[in-house]
Structure 1
Amino acid sequence: MSPVKLRADARRNREQLIEAAREVFAEFGTQAPLDEIARRARIGNATLYRHFPTRDDLLVAVYAEEVQALRAAGLHAAGLDNTVEVDQLFEWLAAFVRHVAEKGDLARSLEPSTRRSELHEEWHAAMVATVGGLVERAQEAGALRADVDPVDLLVLAAGMATAEPVRVKRMLQMVRRGVVAV
């Protein structure tokens, strides 16, 4: 089943709501009043609820866009020529750490359900595929050890998300020294 195609004004309203929600959630947390989101988007509450019947629907929309943007950044990095593959990998891992630190609450705020489990699996698979492509490219170039597992890098990076940025930078440098090909 293909997604419903929205009229231009409805698509614009949806985009404005998602952008406002991103800002409000960042400012006040994921339990921020939905009325504030509608107000900032300059859209009526009825329109908000027509697009997003539940808070979870809005959280999913915001977080899905964040995941898509992170995935796109990784795909872009993997497609760059004349660059150092390990640099691209670790720039993306730093972005992933920031993503988990800043946006992880969005995903964790979803109500436990089968849908949440499926979405988490989908988002996790997207991140594994992204880092996997970057790892594979670096390994093919001989810049990364052959035994580096992309999921291990994701787990390490996710664990770094609770640290201060200066510590994250040092930890990423330590991991990099441990995985580059000698």
Structure 2
Amino acid sequence: MEDTGEQAAPPRKRADARRNEQALLEAAAAVFVRSGVQAPVREIAAEAGVGMGTIYRHFPQRADLVIAVYRHQVEACAAAGPALLESAPTPHAALGRWVRLFVEFLVTKHGLAGAMRDDDAGFAALHGYFLDRLVPVCASLLDAAAAAGEIETDVSALNLMHGIGNLCIGADKDPGYDAGRLVDLLVAGLRRSAVG
């Protein structure tokens, strides 16, 4: 067989393996929100309806699973922006719904730094990925709401996302702290200041 110098494409996963991986990512995200990233693997397996061996086959280390959940949720947030603009009654409503998804993502993401404490370069690369994927989505939602006259036009996506992130800090340490409610007030305030 002649060597053409081209790399062979990685083998595609079987459909059932892809389904198992998706179920694991969704289950792990739910468990991480409920119990944190240090939740027992058996809790994730039970949530996904798979055996523990299936988890270790897909994700040999806990950090592998945390990173995969992180990327999965970034992609879900990125895809939700355009879908919400099409389905929500107004761009401001779409922005509010997207921000709620973003808050849920931040809650899951909270333990990522701990899970990757020995991999500063890996964490920095994931943070860059997060910004590259989500800042443009947030900006498109803000632009649509501003074009509709619903919010002020001088709010940057990055500043809004920083504000949301700051409101979410510490939510895991105080069960009475409702970051989602505070973020809802922030988004509502964008509109009130424009109308006022």
Shared topology, TM-score over 0.5?
Answer: yes
Out of 87-96 and 150-159, give the one that drifted further: 87-96
C-alpha RMSD over aligned residues: 2.8
Alpha-carbon distance change, 12 to 68 in structure 1, aligned in 2, over 3 angstroms: same
Q: Runs ≥4 in structure 1, deviation > 4 angstroms? A: 1-4
**Of 96, 121, 127, the match for 1:90:** 96
**What is the aligned counterpart of 2:160 among 130, 150, 153?**
153
Once the two structures are superposed, what CA deviation does each residue of 1:55-86 show, in whole Å capped at 9, x if it has no partner? 111111222222222222212123458x4222
AA paired with 1:95?
L
Aligned residues: percent identity?
Answer: 32
Contact 2:42 2:52 in 1 (8 A): yes
- Residue 130 of structure 1: how far off its partner (Å): 0.8
1:69 aligned residue: 76
Aligned residue in 2 for 1:170: 185
* Shift in Å, 1:46: 3.5
* Alignment size in residue pairs: 179
In structure 1, stretches of 5+ residues that fail to align are none
SS state of the match for residue 146, structure 1?
Answer: coil
- Tell me how far apart the structure 1 counterparts of residues 40 and 48 of structure 2 sit (CA, whole Å): 13
Q: Letter of the 1:141 partner, please give it.
A: A
- CA distance in structure 1 between the partners assigned to 2:41 and 2:149 by the alignment: 50
- Contact 2:27–2:44 (CA under 8 A) maintained in structure 1: yes
TM-score when scaled to structure 2? 0.74
- Asked whether the equivalents of residues 97 and 160 of structure 1 are also in contact (C-alpha less than 8 Å), the reply is no
Q: Distance in 1 between matches of 2:167 and 2:190?
A: 11
Normalised by the size of structure 1, how large is the TM-score? 0.79
Q: Which structure 2 residue ranges, 5 or more long, are not aligned?
A: 1-6, 172-176
The residue identity in structure 2 corresponding to 1:8 is A
Distance 1:89 1:50, change over 3 A: same
